[in-house]
Homo-oligomer: A and B are copies of this chain.
Amino acid sequence: MQRIAVDMDGVLADVFAQYLDWDERDTGIRKEREALLGKPELEAFAGIPQYLYTSGFFRSIPVVKDSQKILLELTKKYEVFVVSAAMEFPQSLPEKLEWLLEHFSFIDWQHVVFCGSKQIIKADIMIDDHLKNLNYFEGRTILFSQPHNHFVQHDKHTRVSSWQEIARLLL
């Protein structure tokens, strides 16, 4: 059975939607997604350094569309691990775990990994929205589209824009 390492933020957790909401709450202005294409997240939302350390931020992120249904299907055909580079923000760890066990209750704790560098991850397929994770991975790589990676050029990764596309690729 092939093993898939699935990223959390930007793949299961719609952190961009959360940034948009919190930014609007703080500034009174709703930013346009199109205006943020290609911008690093930190540049797109000035509040990020503060949000990431705010209690409740990670616990209340919306779920990426279709990810629950399709990840559940994937667990029937693959060994699925959720792998999140969460170590930079210690207070996020219990929040992220609670979030995951609530929204993806079919993933047990045995199949959750919080790490710093993902270079230590052994799997056959990696789904991630950041090249820094995909570029060092030796298996099959799937780049999940997010505004910050919109203009990224790449030869070796398969880009997908939705979980429906992941289903077409892997199911």
CA distance A87 to B100 in the complex (A): 12
Answer whether A114 and B114 are a contact pair too, CB < 8 Å, given A90-B97, A94-B91. Answer: yes
Question: How many residues of A sit at the interface, in one of the four size bands?
Answer: 20 to 34
Contacting pair B123 A112 (CB below 8 A)? no
Chain B CB within 8 A of A73 CB: no
A83 cross-chain contacts in B, Cβ below 8 A? 120
A108 cross-chain contacts in B, Cβ below 8 A? 116
Chain B CB within 8 A of A60 CB: no
Chain B CB within 8 A of A33 CB: no
A98 cross-chain contacts in B, Cβ below 8 A? 90
Which residues of A, 1-45, contact B by the 8 Å Cβ criterion? Answer: 3, 5
Contacting pair A120 B122 (CB below 8 A)? yes
* Chain B residue nearest to A98 in the complex (CB): B90
A97 cross-chain contacts in B, Cβ below 8 A? 87, 90, 93
- Within the complex, what minimum Cβ distance (angstroms) separates A133 from chain B? 12
A121 cross-chain contacts in B, Cβ below 8 A? 120-122
A88 cross-chain contacts in B, Cβ below 8 A? 109
Chain B CB within 8 A of A110 CB: yes
* Chain B residue nearest to A111 in the complex (CB): B116
Answer whether A87 and B115 are a contact pair too, CB < 8 Å, given A5-B120, A120-B122, A121-B122. Answer: no
Chain B CB within 8 A of A64 CB: no
